Structure 1
Amino acid sequence: MVDDNDSKPEETKPAKKKQRSFWRELPILILVALVLSFLLQTFIARVYLIPSESMEPTLHGCAGCTGDRIVVEKVGYHFGNPRPGDVVVFLGPDSWNGEYKSIRSTNTVVRGLQNVGSVFGVVPPDENDLVKRVIATGGQKVECCDAQGRVLVDGKPLDEPYIVNDFPFVPGTQTCTTPVKSGRCFGPVTVPKGNLWMMGDNRNNSADSRYHVGDERQGTVPIDNVIGKARFIILPPSRMGGISSPHIQSN
């Protein structure tokens, strides 16, 4: 006989996990996003706004228009140095910073918030970051011009298909030997080891190495000042695409 009192114990149901409140998780999610943004923009890549016309038509930054926003990759130059033809973003040496004005607020609290935002990539860094094209590297001699008005590196003319705007150069009328010289003419300059000779693609409107040739580095920029290589235009949508860095020196 079965004792009616010997009933099976009820199966215990697993306790439901207590659901975390969304508002309790939100600060953690924000913190994780900020840390990831910091790591990404410090070590991998960062977005920069083109503020001037010095790299047109490769990069747009004309007055009154929407400047390009570009992705600058930081990893590659840990394994090799910039090469002629590369478009790079770099920190302007002291002699290049004469016209730079701080973008920070004069209000102490606001300025502090801006500095914190800069660490996480929300606010641009308060430094003179510039974008130009590498033309010559350490040990090379750069000058302009040959008989056709081209830049020479170690006596060989460069192939620069990206140049649209340049100073006039008219053989027999306005060259580097005529009474009225062409605005293209400079050099020769031997680039110090560990430095780079930089020029904008918009040759008649770029305060590049030519403009600073009288400083202690003859206008060159230390490789250590290079932040990274400009890879892509991401805004505006109509200009999205890769940034050309052709080999410009003949072998």
Structure 2
Amino acid sequence: MTEDTRIARDDRAAVPPRARPSRRRSTLLFLRDLLVIFVVAVLVSFLIKTFLIRSFFIPSQSMEQTLVQDDRIIVNQLVPDVTPIERGDVVVFQDPGGWLPARTEEAQPPLIAAIDWFLAFVGLSAPDSNDHLVKRVIGLGGDHVVCCNALGQMSVNGVPLDEPYVALPPGETKVSRDDFDVTVPEGSLWVMGDNRYNSKDSRYNTETPLKGFVPVDNIVGRAFVVSWPVSHWAWLDNYPAVFDGVDEGTG
């Protein structure tokens, strides 16, 4: 071994410990990176919930069997601002006024309230689901919706609908217990639950200020998937074939 090699090794050995990165500093850097990742993830989740998609749970049986009570759904909030609403869409909307009974907020322990607020902030919880409704769009602005014909079918613009998504009591063939004949105002929708004999939808809100019609401005978005429970996972169809010819109908 040469003298130069020995000196080089001696120099490395002589490097004081304080010149190497400390374990404490490495831990702090790691925690800092975790915090940055967490903050970015929260902000991204907030932006997605605010502008793209958000989650709701189903508070009632009015959409069975398509949606079961307590199912969780993902809602596309680009509808209707970017993508137009279509007949057959399952939509979530704010109460137009008088559809939902008044309810009082239940007090929560501060810790639970804080957790709920955070989960709602990032879109993982929907504490306001009870302030919204979910129904299927049957009529758009200008549509003439009538029920029922001799076969128990509903028609839109004179075109009878064969609705495979409707749940009826055993032995019933009429898709609505009560007959109706309405023309949907422009900028509004006529909506109905799939569980036709157990849904307080447009038919049964005609005494409210908007006569059962839902303003398009009240639409939060279109539900497109059942996300929970896993056993109920499914894409939500708007059944375009059901409404074939409606735009060309005579009204």
TM range (shorter): 0.7 to 0.9
CA distance in 1, matches of 2:119, 2:55: 14
Q: Which SS does the other structure have where 1:57 is aligned? A: coil
One-letter amino acid of the structure 1 residue matched with residue 244 of structure 2: S
Match of 1:84 in 2: 87
User: Going by fraction, where is helix more abundant, 1 or 2?
Assistant: 2
Q: Measure how far apart 1:116 and its partner are.
A: 5.1
Match of 2:205 in 1: 212
One-letter amino acid of the structure 2 residue matched with residue 105 of structure 1: A
Q: Which moved more, 1:82-91 or 1:155-164?
A: 155-164
1:188 is the counterpart of 2:191: no
Which one of 123, 126, 143 corresponds to residue 124 of structure 1? Answer: 126
Q: Measure how far apart 1:77 and its partner are.
A: 2.6
Change in Cα spacing, 1:16 to 1:228, as seen in structure 2 (3 Å) is farther
CA distance in 1, matches of 2:124, 2:107: 15
CA distance in 1, matches of 2:113, 2:92: 24
Change in Cα spacing, 1:168 to 1:128, as seen in structure 2 (3 Å) is farther
Identity of aligned residues (%): 38
Match of 1:30 in 2: 38
One-letter amino acid of the structure 2 residue matched with residue 189 of structure 1: V
Q: Measure how far apart 1:24 and its partner are.
A: 3.3
Match of 2:58 in 1: 50
Match of 2:191 in 1: 198
1:105 is the counterpart of 2:98: no
One-letter amino acid of the structure 1 residue matched with residue 233 of structure 2: M
Q: How many residues align?
A: 227
Counterpart contact for 2:99–2:208, Cα < 8 Å: no
Change in Cα spacing, 1:112 to 1:209, as seen in structure 2 (3 Å) is same
| TM-score, structure 1 normalization | 0.77
Q: Measure how far apart 1:155 and its partner are.
A: 2.4
1:108-137 Cα distance to aligned partner (Å, 9 max, x none):
786566445423224424361111100001
Counterpart contact for 1:58–1:201, Cα < 8 Å: yes
Counterpart contact for 1:149–1:184, Cα < 8 Å: no
1:137-182 Cα distance to aligned partner (Å, 9 max, x none):
1111212111111112122211211112159767xxxx8xxxxxx9
Match of 2:244 in 1: 250
CA RMSD of the aligned region, Å?
3.1
Counterpart contact for 1:84–1:135, Cα < 8 Å: yes
Q: Measure how far apart 1:104 and its partner are.
A: 5.0
Change in Cα spacing, 1:209 to 1:150, as seen in structure 2 (3 Å) is same
| TM-score, structure 2 normalization | 0.77
Match of 1:139 in 2: 142
Change in Cα spacing, 1:53 to 1:25, as seen in structure 2 (3 Å) is same
Change in Cα spacing, 1:185 to 1:87, as seen in structure 2 (3 Å) is same
Q: Which SS does the other structure have where 1:32 is aligned? A: helix
